[in-house]
């Protein structure tokens, strides 16, 4: 029989996952750039499968995808908190927070393009006969 503390722990973990998936769904529902990330992620994974990437390349590709998504999620959280702190009004510091968060996503996305070109470019060109 499961102990009370184990049951509490399992319920607590289940609630944590529910909160995480609610946050994930919020980002997908409300952030237009999330759809761009989704299309790019699916495209890159599809290309990686087609090109038969080795395990090390997959590790870098998956970490890169995770980096961009993490930046987008953190940016969304930062925007919500900045809006809440500014009580819905335009505040110069809230704008700074939002702009810096957006810059973080831009840096992650630019790095992901460079990494994608480095990893997918050569085998793609070879596969296409160039």
* Distance from C-alpha of 104 to C-alpha of 78, rounded to nearest angstrom: 11
* Distance from C-alpha of 32 to C-alpha of 44, rounded to nearest angstrom: 19
Q: Is 90 part of the annotated catalytic residue set? A: no
- Residue that has been written with the tokens 């009370």 in this structure: 4
* Distance from C-alpha of 107 to C-alpha of 3, rounded to nearest angstrom: 47
- Residue that has been written with the tokens 């998504």 in this structure: 69
Contact between 105 and 71 under an 8 Å Cβ cutoff? The reply is yes
- Residue that has been written with the tokens 């090390």 in this structure: 56
Q: Which positions are catalytic? A: 72
């Amino acid at each position: 029989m499961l102990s009370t503390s184990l049951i509490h722990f399992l319920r607590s973990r289940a609630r944590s996952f529910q909160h995480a998936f609610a946050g994930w769904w919020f980002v997908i529902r409300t952030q237009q750039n999330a759809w761009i990330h989704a299309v790019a992620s699916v495209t890159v994974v599809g290309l990686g499968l087609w090109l038969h990437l080795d395990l090390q390349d997959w590790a870098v590709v998956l970490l890169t995808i995770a980096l961009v998504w993490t930046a987008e999620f953190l940016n969304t959280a930062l925007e919500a908190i900045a809006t809440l702190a500014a009580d819905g009004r335009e505040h110069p510091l809230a704008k700074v927070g939002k702009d810096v968060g957006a810059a973080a996503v831009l840096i992650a996305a630019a790095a992901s393009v460079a990494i994608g070109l480095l990893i997918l470019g050569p085998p793609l060109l070879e596969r296409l006969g160039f």
